[in-house]
Amino acid sequence: MGAITTPEALQDGRIRYRSGANESGAYEYDRWTERPGSIVRISLLRALRASGQYRRVLESSSQAAGDYVLQGRLYEFGEVDGASIQSKISLQVELIDRKTNRNVWDRMAEREEPVTGKTVPDVVQSLDRNLQRVVSETVAEIDKFLTMQR
């Protein structure tokens, strides 16, 4: 499991929001316990391990070698205000064959989830539900791809 990189705006840990096409900001006193890129990385790592499809799923910082590296870029992870409040996740992930160092699979996931209330905890709950869906769909697609490779 490699890194999930993020734009600079997501690196300070503040919960982000967007209104309209060009206006964005961050809640000053509401922050993630981990940076969004780490949250996504940990969620993917846990889901891959929990799938039971792999002998081992390791972090790239470990010394063990594997067949593939999963890495990605998180473009958006926050609240979107419009006619209704939504949470939005935009995540691109790719699977790299370690032998050839080539991209053998990739996926762009962009998903919005309704926020049921108007508070920051409501946004956080929506983002959590949204992330769980994105992660489970991504892991299912990786499983399908790798099953076809065997």
Q: pLDDT per residue over 10-43, tens digit each?
A: 888 899 998 877 888 898 889 899 999 999 999 9
CB 43 within 8 Å of CB 111: no
Q: What is the pLDDT of residue 67?
A: 86
pLDDT in tens, 54-108: 888 888 765 667 889 999 999 999 999 988 999 999 999 999 998 899 999 999 9
Ordered domains of the chain (ranges, CATH): 4-149 (3.40.50.10610)
Q: What is the pLDDT of residue 62?
A: 58
> Can you read off the two tokens belonging to residue 27?
């809640």
Q: What is the pLDDT of residue 53?
A: 86
Instruction: Give the Cα separation of 133 and 28 in Å (integer).
Output: 28
pLDDT band at 121 (very low <50, low <70, confident <90, very high): very high
pLDDT band at 150 (very low <50, low <70, confident <90, very high): confident
DSSP class of residue 8? G
Q: What is the pLDDT of residue 58?
A: 82
Q: What is the pLDDT of residue 57?
A: 86
pLDDT band at 9 (very low <50, low <70, confident <90, very high): confident
Instruction: Give the Cα separation of 150 and 148 in Å (integer).
Output: 6
Q: What is the pLDDT of residue 39?
A: 95
**Amino acid at the residue 26:** A
Give the burial class of 71: count Cβ atoms within 10 A of its Cβ; 0-12 exposed, 13-18 middle, 19 or more buried.
buried
Q: What is the pLDDT of residue 49?
A: 92
Max CA-CA distance within the chain? 49
Give the burial class of 64: count Cβ atoms within 10 A of its Cβ; 0-12 exposed, 13-18 middle, 19 or more buried.
exposed
Q: What is the pLDDT of residue 128?
A: 95
Helices (H), 1-97: 36-50
